[in-house]
Each structure stands twice: as C-alpha cells, then as structure tokens.
Chains A and B, each alone.
Chain A
Amino acid sequence: MKKLLLALLVAAGAAHAEDVLHLYNWNNYLAPETVKRFEAECKCKVVQDYYGAMEEMLAKLSAGAKGYDVVVPTGFAIPPLVKQNLVQPLDKAKLPNLKNVDAGFMNSPFDEGNKFSVPYAFTTTLVGYNDAKIKELGLDPASWAIIFDPAVLAKIKGKVTVLDDSRELFAAALMYNGFSANSTNPEEWAKAKETILKAKPFWAAFNTQSYIKELTLGNIWVAHGYSSDMFQANLDAKAAKRKFGIGYVLQKEGNTLSLDSVMVLKSAPRPDLAYKFINFMLDGKNSSELTNMIGSGNPNAASAQFVQPDIKKISAVFPDAEAKKKLVQLSALEGKPLRELNKLWTQVKTAKKK
C-alpha cells in the first residue's frame, strides 16, 4: 500500500516537471483542434481542469487552491478575484494580439483598462423555445412575459424552466418590470420577487443543467437560458430529426450579456505559457474555432471572417448595434446587497405552491 502511494506521489510530481499549462475552465469551452495547434506551437502540454459553475471555481480559489495558470471567469467574478488578490496584472507587451479585440468589449466596469482580464467569449441570456409549439399557441417569445405573465403561462403550465441562478432570474424579472437589471433598490427587488412568485406555480423547475436535453426531447417548451445552450439544443433537435426546432430570440425589455475573460492567476506556476496561450487565443482564426464549435458570441473583431456565415446570421449570438444597446452585463454584487439577494432567493425557493 505504501509503495503504491509513493508511486502515485512520484507520478504526480513528475507531471509538473515537463512544460504544462494548467487551464481552469468550463468543459467544452476550448476547441480540441485549437489545443492541438497550441501544443505544437508552444511545445507544451495543455491540461484542463473543469468547473461546473462559476461559484465552484470562486470558492475553490478563495480557499487557496493553487496549481492553475489561467482561469476563465464571467464578468461579475472578476472583482472578487482581483480584490482577493488571486490574479496578476497583465503585461500588455506580451499580448500583441490584444489589438484584435472589439473596443466595445474592452474597459468593462469589472476591470477598467483591462489591467487583469482579456475578453474571451460571450453569451446572452434569453428565452429558447419549441418553435412549433409556440407558433401553434400563438405566443410571443420576444418578451419576458412568456416566462413571467400568468395569463401567458396558463397555456404552457409545467412546460417552462427558468435558470437556477438568483442573479439571472432577478435580472430578467427586473427588466420585465421596466427596471434596470442591475438595480439594488429594495422596492424594485420586492417587485421582482412578487413577479417571480406569481409565475413560479407555472414553472416545471429551476434548471441550469438539463434544459438543453428537455427542450430537445419536447418535455419543455420554453426555457430561460444561455444563447450558446439554445444553439446546442437546436443542433441536437436537428440531429434527432425532430418535427420542431429550438428557436431563441432576445427579449424586447432587454437581456443580460455574460462576457467571459481570461486571467492569469497570481500563483500560476507557468505565467510564460499563460501569456503565450492568451496571445494565441486572441488570434482571429483561433478565436473563431470556439464560436464555430459552440455558437458563443465572439468579442474578437479579427475572428469575424472565420466564423461560419449561418452562425453570424443569428441575432442572439451576433447582436446588431441596435440590439447591443439593450444588453447589460450584470454587476458584481458584494456584501450587503449580495446577502439581501440571498435571502430573497431563499424565500423564492421555499415559497409553497398555492
């Protein structure tokens, strides 16, 4: 037994001896062919560790986990990483390809001047739907009413899921009520909570994990979710030769936009490889491969020419200037407001069916 343990220790130690870039990322968030080309170019190995939720990653890094070089957080997770001193400022001289990023995605409120972060990809949060059913019932998916208005929901009771995410759901409810998605005004939050509680009896579940599958199967007709997931659901529906497709549109009241960025951790064992990787990913073609694989939005201006035309046509993935105005990034909540939302969310989750 001891020998086996020792052998494992040695094996674990040996893995660090060669040139390895440790990437802490979502699963399926980097195209395999991109990895292969990068490995050839840097003569190193890319090892990815995955997280299933941004909060898991934050908790683990907050507790002091080390060994990762690059992490890929969503906007609101950037300030906690910066304030907890977990990431290092970027040396822009080592990132010549930074010029490729669309100026509209730089200088986000999370990281003014992009001292720590470089935009990687984005998704919008919207409503995806079973196009045949919605047409049949004559519903309008371009308004948040489809998940919040009891009169509309009565026709699709038990066939709707919403994200199991307090920020996203409250943002949608706030926008539906005509407030800012980033409002922290207690009265407006109370109103949003009211909206959610009225709609809750009509929902099948809070679901962040399996709505792609449920939509494709036809078990669910309307889902509140991410644009890239709806893209996947539509592909799956086509592959399964369904009689319906999965449509997805932005809502007229406004939508949230999640911009994911790459950051270098302070404890990175190999910052040199981290810079090489980030600069590599800022190349237009390399960056386009992710978009072509999962239908994510791309903040890289140089990638446009490499993106498949049918993806570029989707307005929810590549919003035009007019639509862009209505997209909001969720701000980072801290301290009191975060705990207040936590309490509201617990009340929403525990409210009994009437």
Chain B
Amino acid sequence: MAYNNNRVSKWLISGPPLLYLILFFAIPTLIMAFAAFRFPGDYGGLLPLVGTNDAGATALLVNSENWRDYLTLENFGRFFDDPIYIELFVKSFWYAGITTLSCLVLAYPLAWLIARSPKKYRDLLVLLVILPFWSNFLIRVYAWMIILGPQGYLARAANGVLALFGVGPVQILFSHFAVIVVLVYVHLPFMVLPLYANLEKHDMNLLDAAQDLGANTWQRFWRITWPLSLPGVFAGAALVFIPALGMFAVPDLVGGTDGFMIGNLIKQQFLDSRDWPFGSVLSIMLTLAVLLLAAIAGWLGRGGKRDAL
C-alpha cells in the first residue's frame, strides 16, 4: 500500500516536467543530434533522406543497400583527426573553470551575508543581485567595453600606475583578461542565487553550539558551514560552468584575435560553413563531456556528504 502510494506520487511529481522535457526538448534535439550521422547537403542543411524517387513520388530515399551514402561515422572521425578540436575543448574548459572559481569566491561571502541579514531586507538584497541582468546583455557588455577600453577610466588608471614603473601601456580590452572579467560578470547571479537558497536554511544553533565548544571562526566555517553548503556550491558551479562553456558572444565581442572558443566553433559550423553534421558532432561531444563531468561531481558530492555526516 505504502509502496503503491509512493509510485503514484512519484509519477505525479516527476511526470509533468518529464513529459514537457521529452516533448519540447528530447524529441526535437534527438532529431538534430541524429544529423551527426548524416551528410551535409551541398547547399546547406542536410542531405535529405526523404525526396522524390525515380517514379516521381515522395519516398524514403535510404534503403538497406544504399544506406552508406546517407549515414556515416565520418563526422566523428573528423573530430579526432585534428588535435585542434580537443585543444579548443581544453581551452574552453579552462576558461569556464576559472570563471566558475572566480564566481564562487565573489559570490560566497555575498550569499552568506544575504542569508544572515534580517529577514525583511533579504528579498531586497537578492533582488539587487539580479536586477542589473534585466538590462540587455549586449548593452551590459558594451558598458564593459567602455570600462575596459583604452579611453576608459580603468585602463587609464592601470596604465598610469604601470607607467610609474616604466612599463608601457597594456591593452585590456580584446584580451584574455577581458574575456574572464565579462564571463564572471555575466554569470555571477547564477552562483549567488543557488548559494543563497542553500545557505539561507542553515541552522544557526549548530554554529552557536560549535562556538560554545571552542571552535574558532575558520574551524566553524570549514567543519560546518562549508560542508553543509556543498549542494549549493555544486548547483551554482553547474549553472555557471556549463553555460560559460558554450558562450560565444563574449569572446566575440571582447576577446580580440585569441578569443576563439568551442562555442564560436560550433556557431561557425551551423552558420558560416553550413556544416550541420559536424556542428552536431561538436555539440554531442560537448554535451557528453558535461554529463560525464556532472556524473563525476555527483559521485564526489555523495562521497563528500558521507564524510560530513
């Protein structure tokens, strides 16, 4: 009886989101992911599998004899043929990693303070974190281009200081540094909010008890707050790392000649080169890499929790 009830409520709760995601995400995406095994059309799109046959009727063109002309693994081969693609993956993971770490360092104290502030201010402080992100993305990046540009105050101040040491002016805009700054900025709220949501529920009595037992501030943080907040850290890291990985607009706008990332490469396949199959291969590889990483993180996370308990 209890088991049965559990089954019913399980489907009641997980059914609607599952159905929605299958219908409006999984099915459409699988159609396109299948493109990875097909040939590109000569003029863009894909080599059609359905078309007019010799008799002039619409029919499936592919059959058991000619399927090799329509289906292939060659697109995956291309990915491994040239080390460029793997190198680009490594570079993008590196950038996304730095972005995630920087976001965590900036977001943690802020989220912790908001969670500990008086209840009546909490919502306002949370709102203030996300408010700037309701202005348009492009305009925000433009604002950074003004701040980092050669005429901007930041660049002028930095170069003024450098000049004192006899170092020539450095370019801030169109550099790796600019890409990281803007990536951190764009993703920061997606770290603060999950952290806040998690930290907000922590039981202050635990910390007080620890203090009574003579634990100092750092001990209390490392032994109690940090382990308890790990689910929030993992959630925030996922919501920053994954989107940062596929970002192409930021490197495009502020990255200069070295700002080419995996997201730019994928965009190039689908648009400029009209090579949807290879674009799909790259997308599948990226998604698999992320899922693998998530599985590892989940496994480590479970281990971490066991230690904390």
A interface residues with partner B (beta carbon < 8 Å): 53, 55-56, 58-59, 62-63, 79-80, 83-84, 158, 164-166, 200-201, 203-206, 209-210, 217-219, 334-335, 338-339, 341-343, 345-347, 349-350, 352-353
Contact = CB atoms under 8 A, between A and B. Distances in A.
Nearest to B255: A205
B268 interface: yes
A114 B41 CA distance: 24
A84 B41 contact: yes
A59 B84 contact: no
B174 A204 contact: yes
Contacts of B255: 205
Interface residues of B, number: 36
A217 B273 CA distance: 33
Given A158-B171, A350-B84, A350-B87, A219 B274 contact: no
Contact of B174 (A55, A205, A343, A345): A205
Shortest 3 CB-CB distances between A and B: which pairs?
A55-B271, A342-B273, A62-B45
A205 B174 CA distance: 7
Contact of B44 (A59, A201, A203, A343): A59
Interface of B: 40-45, 82, 84, 87-88, 145, 149-151, 171, 173-174, 252-253, 255-260, 264-265, 268-275, 278
Given A204-B171, A349-B260, A350-B260, A342 B42 contact: no
A316 B143 CA distance: 33
Contacts of B42: 83, 334-335
A53 B43 contact: no
A342 B257 contact: no
B43 A84 contact: yes
6 contacts: A79-B43, A335-B42, A338-B274, A345-B273, A347-B84, A350-B87
A335 B174 CA distance: 34
B174 A342 contact: no
Given A206-B257, A342-B268, A342-B269, A58 B275 contact: no
A108 B171 CA distance: 44
Nearest to A203: B257
A76 to B, nearest CB: 11
Contacts of B253: 209-210
Contacts of A203: 257
A83, A164, A349 interface centre (most CB from chain B within 10 Å): A349
A80, A217, A345, A350 interface centre (most CB from chain B within 10 Å): A350
Contacts of A58: 44, 271, 274
Main SS at interface, chain B: loop
B44 A219 contact: no
Contacts of A343: 82
Main SS at interface, chain A: helix
Contacts of A210: 145, 253
Given A58-B274, A342-B268, A345-B268, A219 B149 contact: yes
B258 A352 contact: yes
Contacts of B252: 164, 209
Given A53-B271, A84-B41, A166-B272, A217 B257 contact: no
Nearest to B85: A346
A201, A209, A346 interface centre (most CB from chain B within 10 Å): A346
A106 to B, nearest CB: 23
A55 B272 contact: yes
Contact of B274 (A55, A165, A204, A209): A55
Contacts of A209: 252-253
Given A62-B41, A338-B275, A353-B258, 15 more contacts: A80-B274, A204-B174, A205-B174, A205-B255, A205-B259, A210-B253, A219-B149, A335-B40, A338-B274, A339-B273, A339-B278, A345-B273, A346-B268, A349-B265, A350-B88
Contacts of A201: 257
A37 B38 CA distance: 48
A113 B270 CA distance: 31
Nearest to A166: B272
B256 A205 contact: yes
Contact of A84 (B45, B87, B259, B260): B45
B248 to A, nearest CB: 11
A80 B273 CA distance: 12
Contacts of B269: 342
Given A58-B44, A80-B44, A205 B272 contact: no
A200 B269 CA distance: 22
Contacts of A349: 260, 264-265
Contacts of B273: 338-339, 341-342, 345
Contacts of B145: 210
A83 B41 CA distance: 10
Contacts of B274: 55, 58-59, 62, 80, 338
A84 B269 CA distance: 18
Contacts of B41: 62, 84
A178 to B, nearest CB: 25
B265 A346 contact: yes
A144 B270 CA distance: 30
B51 to A, nearest CB: 11
